[in-house]
């Protein structure tokens, strides 16, 4: 259940962003999860709901977008989409590759609500 | 108001990991992160490794488990310094937990710091602790299909150790299946077979480890 650790880090990040922007609440957050991170979206949503209670991110709508694994073959430089259990280059059939995407968890966007917006 | 952030969610962990790595390098310590399922033989490997490195090599161990200090007690006599981290319900170590453990360790004069991660084949792989080397262990009784089932652990490994090879005789274990799966995921990692019970194969692992330390510390001093 590494989703709880990820959710806790996300809530800290969101709380920080809310403070920096003088926002009272965060209403949406979009997170891109590389498939290699093995994040179960439902588990992350549950963990996020628990971790965000009593923070500016409480009640925020979390959108999780899974990001495919992209690799580049070290011998022929071919860029291709790999599977979690198969990094074989479709051209050379070797798995000596460099990972270009699929291993990061990135907070892409957030929607902030400022005190002014609420009253207007 | 919608704003663009594009920032790693684990940036706080990664920043602490970078600071840990800086501290290890400043002290000339090779940090080794051992990862595997529970019961693959991480502690047994450490006992063999510490004994095999000999009395002139100074090592410390940080060991993570949900509960108990049993591993720390096992290693008390072989390692110069041992710190046990109990994660409670946490299924992996984080860079911050390692940084906290460093508070009770004297890094100066050490050659190696071994970090025995919590036994788990999924979560530890996602968290940088500041280590230089990632070791994935897979014991023969776990079965010959685990590389394909839990690929991310093996994907991020710098070396893969197939442990408890003395048990192969009583198992239906197809070595070639393991090697084939590794070749599809991480062909750059050397694969070593060993048995901590008989000592077979341990020398090869020890010489790899020593080479790695020589290579990495030279990189640090010249870089």
- Domains, chain B, ranges and CATH? 2-218 (3.40.50.300)
pLDDT value of position B79: 87
Annotate A42-105 with three-state secondary structure: HHHHHHHHHHCCCCCCCCCEEEEEEECEEEEECCCCCEEEEECCECCCCCCCCCCEEEEECCCE
- Rounded to two decimals, the pTM is 0.92
Query: Where does residue B142 rank: exposed (0-12), middle (13-18), buried (19+ CB within 10 A)?
Result: buried
Contact B157, B137 (CB under 8 A): no
Residues of B with Cβ-Cβ distance to A87 under 8 angstroms? 155, 184-186
pLDDT surpassing 90 at residue B88: no
Token code pair at residue A78: 């071919």
Tell me: pLDDT of B223 over 80: no
Are the CB atoms for A79 and A71 separated by under 8 Å?
yes
pLDDT reported for residue A116: 76
Residue A119 has pLDDT above 60, yes or no: no
B221, pLDDT greater than 70? no
pLDDT at A12: 97
B122 falls in which pLDDT band (50, 70, 90)? confident
Contact predicate A26/A18, CB 8 Å: yes
CB within 8 Å: B123 and A2 = yes
Find which of B6, B8, B9, B178 to mutate to test the A interface (most A CBs within 10 Å of its CB): B9
* pLDDT beyond 70 at B118: yes
pLDDT tens digits along A82-108: 999 999 999 999 999 999 999 999 999
Mean pLDDT of B143-152: 94
Q: How close is the nearest chain A Cα to the Cα of B178, in Å?
A: 12
Contact A24, A57 (CB under 8 A): no
| Distance between B122 CA and the closest CA of chain A, angstroms | 8
The size of the A-B interface in CB pairs under 8 A is 92
Mean pLDDT in chain B? 94
Task: Report the distance separating Cα A51 and Cα A103, nearest Å.
Answer: 23
What's residue B216's pLDDT? 87
Residues A5 and A37 sit within 8 Å (Cβ to Cβ): no
Distance from CA of B9 to the nearest CA of A (A): 6
Any A CB within 8 A of B55 CB: no
Mean pLDDT of A35-52: 95
Residue A118 pLDDT level (bands cut at 50, 70, 90): low
Task: Using a pLDDT cut of 90, give the percent of chain A over it.
Answer: 91
Residue A26's nearest CA partner among A35, A41, A42, A15 is A15
How many residues can be counted in chain B?
A: 223
Q: How far is B190 from chain A (nearest CA, A)?
A: 13
The predicted-structure confidence for B187-198, as pLDDT tens digits, reads as follows: 999 999 999 999
Mean pLDDT of chain A: 94
Q: Which of A38, A88, A109 sits opposite B5 (nearest CB)?
A: A109
Show which of residues 109-168 on chain B sit within 8 Å of chain A, judged by CB atoms.
122-123, 126-127, 148, 151-152, 155
Confidence of residue B78 (pLDDT cuts 50, 70, 90): confident
pLDDT surpasses 80 at B220? no
Given an 8 Å threshold on Cβ–Cβ distance, is B10 in contact with A110?
A: no
Distances from the Cα of A89 to the Cα of A78, B22, B134, B183, B193, angstroms: 7, 35, 24, 12, 27
């Amino acid at each position: 259940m590494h989703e709880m650790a990820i959710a806790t880090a996300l809530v800290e990040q969101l709380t920080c962003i809310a403070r920096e922007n003088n926002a009272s609440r965060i209403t949406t957050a979009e997170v891109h999860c590389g498939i290699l991170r093995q994040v179960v979206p439902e588990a992350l949503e549950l963990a996020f709901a628990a971790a965000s209670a009593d923070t500016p991110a409480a009640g925020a709508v979390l959108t999780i977008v899974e990001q495919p694994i992209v690799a580049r073959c070290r011998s022929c430089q071919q860029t291709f989409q790999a599977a979690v259990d198969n990094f074989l280059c479709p051209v050379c059939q070797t798995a000596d590759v460099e990972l270009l995407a699929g291993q990061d968890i990135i907070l892409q966007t957030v929607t902030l609500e400022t005190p002014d917006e609420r009253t207007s | 108001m919608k704003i663009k952030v594009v920032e790693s969610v684990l940036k706080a962990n990664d920043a602490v990991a970078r600071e840990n790595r800086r501290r290890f390098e400043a002290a000339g310590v090779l940090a080794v992160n051992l990862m595997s399922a529970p019961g693959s033989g991480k502690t047994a490997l450490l006992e063999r490794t510490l004994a095999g490195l000999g009395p002139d090599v100074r090592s410390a161990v940080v060991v993570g488990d949900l509960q108990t200090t049993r591993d720390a007690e096992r290693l008390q006599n072989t390692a110069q310094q041992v710190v046990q981290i109990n994660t409670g319900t946490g299924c992996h170590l984080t860079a911050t937990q390692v940084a906290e453990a460093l508070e009770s360790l004297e890094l100066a004069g050490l050659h190696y710091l071994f970090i025995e991660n919590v036994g788990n084949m999924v979560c530890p792989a996602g968290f940088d602790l500041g280590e230089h080397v990632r070791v994935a262990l897979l014991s023969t009784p776990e079965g010959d299909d685990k590389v394909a089932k839990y690929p991310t652990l093996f994907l991020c490994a710098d070396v893969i150790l197939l442990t408890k090879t003395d048990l192969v005789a009583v198992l239906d274990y197809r070595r070639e299946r393991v090697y084939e799966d590794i070749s599809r995921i991480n062909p750059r990692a050397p694969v070593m077979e060993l048995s901590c019970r008989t000592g077979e194969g341990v020398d090869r692992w020890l010489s790899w480890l020593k080479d790695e330390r020589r290579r990495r510390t030279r990189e640090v001093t010249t870089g």
